[in-house]
Structure 1
Amino acid sequence: MKKAVVFDNSGTLIERYRVVKDVLNGNIFTDINSLDLIDSADSLALVVLQFNTNRLLELDKDRLISDVIKEYNIDFDVSFSTRQVSKAEVEEILYNEKSSTVSDITDGFDILREKISHMELCNGSALIVDMDLGTVAYTITSAGKFFPKVFETVEVLKSRGIEIFIASGDRKGAINRLANMLDVPEDNAFGTVSTRGKCEVVSILQEGGYKVMMVGDGLNDILAFKKADVSVLTIEQQEEVSPKMMDKTDHIIEDIFEVTMIDF
């Protein structure tokens, strides 16, 4: 039987660093798990901007994000939410929102540069939208570097004839670059997929005759964990893991290379 391993990105292949800004009061956090934050409420949605947000540094920091989205025709996707949210609903808010500005995103850039002296992948920026209030509640800026044994892990799996896939909620451009860095075909890389989308990737592979291992670290992997033949929770990121994930995994690993030791 053909075998495939589907990897999440942030927290799984990439050691993730993020800066979260509370738009209302201006507070900045570097220790908040954005997925847990969203999971704690029923009105929040994680919206990933399909845009190289370094370009925002060229703009007036006081410009409204809504104006920038419209002027540059920035596409976006809903990556995670606790209730069903349509792209049209989010678009209505993003096009008319009057609170968040360019600085709410760019304020996190210097903090990231301090934390990552050797930044290997800029995942980009995202917004946490409050669907009930019709506002951007938080902005997120994230980047990271590979965990030490990622390249070795991928090469060992490939040498065994196992096909590698990536399914992540992160920006599509970042995931395509990640695939290129790992020598994984871009056709095997799925960026800004939702929790349900990751599950669909696993399902499609199974329908194509693959036995599938899903490797991830967060709540947006939970449906894929349930669907996969084998699920692997990695805690190499060393962040608190939701108990919901602990109950839905077959294996828990502390080093990504341990994936190569799991028979499936």
Structure 2
Amino acid sequence: MPNAEKKKPHVSLVGAGPGDPDLITLKGIRALESADVVLYDALANDALLKYAPAHAPRMYVGKRAGKHNMSQEDINKLIVSCARQYGHVARLKGGDPYIFGRGHEEQMCAEQAGIAVTLVPGISSINAVPALQSIPLTRRGLSESFWVITGTTRSGTISQDIILAAQSSATVVILMGMSRIAEIQEVFERVGKSETPVAIIQNGSMSDEKVGVSNVNEMCRMVNEQQLGSPAVIVIGEVAALHPAYVARAVKDGLAKKTTHSI
């Protein structure tokens, strides 16, 4: 390994994208190629580690719901210590570092320690995962805007913003919400959205991707029947009806009704 003591400490906060390793940016790859050490998250595809130099240590600091390898405070300290020890730290984070990724907290910690930070935005699962399933978050005549909400807050409760979003006509995208699916269904049913289309996309952009479509009033049953789990993107709104499986289902239901009426 090169003499790291002579290298100036520097941190690159790199967005790895939604999962598919091909969806990282060129700037993200270049940051990895110049790294002296890589700290990577659970949602960052391991295949991206190949871009780092052979001499650069790879350190897993992943966090998933209920399975925290390290606390955020410990991660912040590790970023600083690694920058001082090795030089250039590539902090590889799933999606985009600034969207539910606590990237700004890590940036502030490094900068307060006198270490320069470069942000490399990533493609977020918020829009990329639905798009890969032919679900636009906005569509003329269907949705003029969208909400993006975390399903579970820092206190472990459902976000109050979901209650507000459910009352709007916007597309609602919920991340980290699978453990709260029953509460989410109840919120939308309470405001008269029982028949609103829903798409739940697990492991979006990956080879083991799973997708379920339904209406709000069938969400919990669908999740149980199709064994859908985290990580997943939940899309609630009229645009979810554009998914090919929902279209096929609507056609099937329409034919069934037509047959019933003709008897």
> How would you bin the TM-score normalised by the shorter chain?
0.3 to 0.5
TM-score, normalising length from structure 1? 0.32
TM-score, normalising length from structure 2? 0.33
Q: Which has the larger radius of gyration?
A: 2
Going by fraction, where is helix more abundant, 1 or 2? Answer: 2
Higher relative contact order (CA 8 A, sep 6+): 1
